[in-house]
Structure formats: C-alpha cells, structure tokens
Structure 1
Amino acid sequence: MDNLEVWMRGPIKGIPDLLQPVAHALLQVEEDSAKYTTQLSSEQLWARPCGNASIGFHLLHIRGVIDRMFTYAAGKSLSAEQFDYLQKEGIVDMELSVATLVGNLQLQIGRALAILSVTDPSTLTEERFLGRKQIPTTLIGLLFHAAEHAQRHVGQLLVTARCLK
C-alpha cells in the first residue's frame, strides 16, 4: 500500500468526507517533499539550475502558503510574523538545512490536518476573503487552493531536484 499515492490508500481518519481531497493532497506533499530532498546538500538546497527557484524556496513557500490560506480560511488577516515570513521566503539562508525545512513543513501540514478535522462541512461554501485586497472566495476555495498550490510547488521542486542529480 505504501507505493500507492496517498489518495489511493483510502480515507484519512478524522477528516470530513468533503475535505478528504485536501488532506490527501497535503499528505502527498509531505511524503514527496521528504522523499525527494533527503539526499540534498546545502548547496543543492539553494541552487537555482537554469534560473529556476531553489528547492529551499519551494519548501519555505509551500509551508507559507498553507499557513496563509488556512489563516484566511479562519476569517483572519495575516499577522506581522506571517508578512515577515513571506518576505523571507526568497532569501537564501545557508543555516537552514533540508531536515529543518522539511520538518517545519511537516509541522505545518499537521496543523492544517488538525484544522480540517474540526471543520464543519456545512460551512465550506461560506464567504471568505483573500489578502489585503479582500478578494472574495469561499472556505473550500481557500482550503483547496492551499493543497493544489502546495502540489504545484512540489512538482517544481521535483524538477529542480532531478536537474541537480
């Protein structure tokens, strides 16, 4: 069963049925980001082959996007710390290791799953707002975007990792 993608392994215990796709995608992000980065050196983590974004950026950005989308999903605005994190996503920090970045992402995904587990499915179509411009969306739109955006960046991370091998 472990060679199957997360969504093929069945429902995630404790997650409402309508939120299973979000949970599956986030858990796939968790597995793939760990699997494809374990052998990377610090130099590879921050390398930008062909001008592509670094793997370090992708790991920081995925964590940040999940955090930001779930904050908006809760009907809140971003904090000063979240804005600071957003500004630092693109900055190379050789002190950050692959293990630290992947571990931080895993913690963020764990927090997201905990939120999904207590989300009332009857609220999924409730209006929410995105960013400073207060772009109207829905709770399910924000939760789904967190998952699909994270998946998109894992795909880019995988391409960059392959280029570095």
Structure 2
Amino acid sequence: MGKTDKSDAIEFWLRGPVDGIPSFLQPAAHALLQSYKEIHDYLWDFPQDLLWNQLEGRASVGFHIQHMTGVLDRMMTYAKGEPLTDAQFEYLKSEGVPKEELTLTGLKSGFKDQVEVALAYFKGLSEDILMEPRSVGRKKLPSTVLGLLFHAAEHSQRHVGQLLVTASVLKSQRGKIN
C-alpha cells in the first residue's frame, strides 16, 4: 500500500467532527486518527530489517509504535477507573524488545485496532463524566477522564514525530531518497 492520494491530504482536525464522538473529545479523536494516518503514510516503504534499529541510543521505530499502542490502552483503562491488568504490565515490559514475530505490518495493525477501540470508547462516553477524577498508576496520581484521553492522543502525536525522524534518518543511512 502506497502513500495516500490528495483527497486524504487534509488533516483530520480540518475534516469536521467525527461521527458520534462527544464535542470535547473531538480533538483527541482527530489526533489519534492523524497519528495512524501519519504512521501509515510515512512508513509505507520502511524496511522491516530497520524496525528495531536505534540511533544514538534513542528508541526504535518498533518501540514507538508499540508504546503508542500500549499507552492508548493504559490511558483508557485508567479513564474507566480500572487498574492495569497483568497482561498490560507484561505488554509494558515488552515495549521495545525486538522479537522476530513483531512485524511493521503487525505493529501498525495493532495501533490501528487500538485507535478503533478508543474511538468506540469515546462514542460511548457522556460529556458529563469527562471532568470526573481518575487516578494514574500505583501512586494514584490525579487526573480526569478528559485528561487521560487527551494525554493518550497528544502522547501518540509526540511519538509519531520522534518515529518519523528516526525512520527518515535510518532510511537515508541506507542510501534511500526520502
């Protein structure tokens, strides 16, 4: 699958509301959709053998995608007022650990699936609960439902930026034209 065409060039925040998403969560929904689109667009030709390469000790492309997926899952769990599961802790420990079975296609698909789960969750929320307090982590740090969901979205965007730089440099080091 190649880069998207010009009809997809408009960023999600300029495409209007996402159907069924509460108004206050529109920016988070747009950011998550944009994150997936940018991963898809910028990594369509990224070589699998560079997935776990690190530059100057920085995170690999594979780590960034895994981490974005995990953070989105964990922030939604906290937003629901639930503790993390053993499976979520195991996933967290495995972020950035190269495994032969972890492919770029599989990681991108996993992030896309988690974005779809998040958007479905957003659709089921009433704006009335967005300011309800929630706690984060074992230390029970304070947040709100809105704060957690916004953080998941902006965190994804931050990692997309880092991922794009890493991918670009890795490809250029192989003599590819960006």
Q: How does the TM-score come out when normalised to structure 2?
A: 0.90
Partner of 2:156: 150
Is 1:111 equivalent to 2:117 in the alignment? yes
Q: Distance in 1 between matches of 2:57 and 2:164?
A: 15
Contact 2:52–2:96, Cα closer than 8 Å, also in 1: no
Partner of 1:78: 84
Q: CA deviation at 1:43?
A: 1.8
Partner of 1:14: 20
Q: Distance in 1 between matches of 2:51 and 2:96?
A: 13
Contact 1:38–1:98, Cα closer than 8 Å, also in 2: no
Q: Distance in 2 between matches of 1:156 and 1:98?
A: 16
Q: Distance in 2 between matches of 1:84 and 1:93?
A: 14
Partner of 1:160: 166
Contact 1:42–1:94, Cα closer than 8 Å, also in 2: no
Q: Distance in 2 between matches of 1:164 and 1:57?
A: 14
From 88, 98, 103, the equivalent of 1:92 is 98
Contact 1:26–1:109, Cα closer than 8 Å, also in 2: yes
Q: Distance in 2 between matches of 1:50 and 1:8?
A: 36
Larger Rg: 2
Partner of 1:60: 66
Is 1:2 equivalent to 2:8 in the alignment? yes
Q: CA deviation at 1:49?
A: 2.0
Q: Distance in 2 between matches of 1:70 and 1:159?
A: 27
Is 1:26 equivalent to 2:25 in the alignment? no
Unaligned runs of 5+ in 1: none
Q: Distance in 1 between matches of 2:46 and 2:88?
A: 27
Partner of 2:131: 125
* Structure whose residues are more often helix by fraction: 1
CA RMSD of the aligned region, Å?
0.9
Is 1:139 equivalent to 2:145 in the alignment? yes
Contact 2:70–2:92, Cα closer than 8 Å, also in 1: yes
From 43, 51, 59, the equivalent of 2:49 is 43
Q: Distance in 2 between matches of 1:43 and 1:93?
A: 12
Q: Percent identity between the aligned chains?
A: 49
The one-letter code of the counterpart of 1:94 is: E
SS class of match (1:50): coil
Unaligned runs of 5+ in 2: 1-6, 172-178
SS class of match (1:136): strand
Q: CA deviation at 1:51?
A: 2.2
Q: CA deviation at 1:94?
A: 2.5
The one-letter code of the counterpart of 1:103 is: S
